[in-house]
Amino acid sequence: MSKNEIVGMIETMNNYDELAAKATAKADAIRDTLKAEMLRQQTEELTAGAYIVRYTSVISNRFDSTTLKRLYAELYKDFTLRYLAN
């Protein structure tokens, strides 16, 4: 493969990456518009033609092991050593 072919492929790849980024941005804008409409209608589901769009809020409670490790290093170490031993 020649250097010119490689340069051409890289430029094509960059063009496709740029196109994909623009398409993603447009899709995200449409998604945000649909979410806003659902909030306006106070619904978690919209039906339009053959499409059903659902948007629900999810509350997630996750354990922050990084903070536990930082604040209680010995406890974290003891627990993980015991847990891994079993």
**Residue 36: its pLDDT value, please?**
96
Residue for token digits 């960059």?
14
Q: Cα–Cα distance between 70 and 21 in angstroms, integer?
A: 38
pTM of the entire structure? Answer: 0.61
Number of independent structural domains in the chain: 1
Give yes or no for residue 64 having a pLDDT over 80: yes
Q: Cα–Cα distance between 75 and 29 in angstroms, integer?
A: 46
Q: Cα–Cα distance between 6 and 64 in angstroms, integer?
A: 46
**Residue 78: its pLDDT value, please?**
85
Query: For residue 49, how far is the Cα from the chain centroid?
Result: 28
Q: Cα–Cα distance between 51 and 26 in angstroms, integer?
A: 19
Give yes or no for residue 83 having a pLDDT over 80: no
What is the domain extent for residue 65?
Answer: 3-85
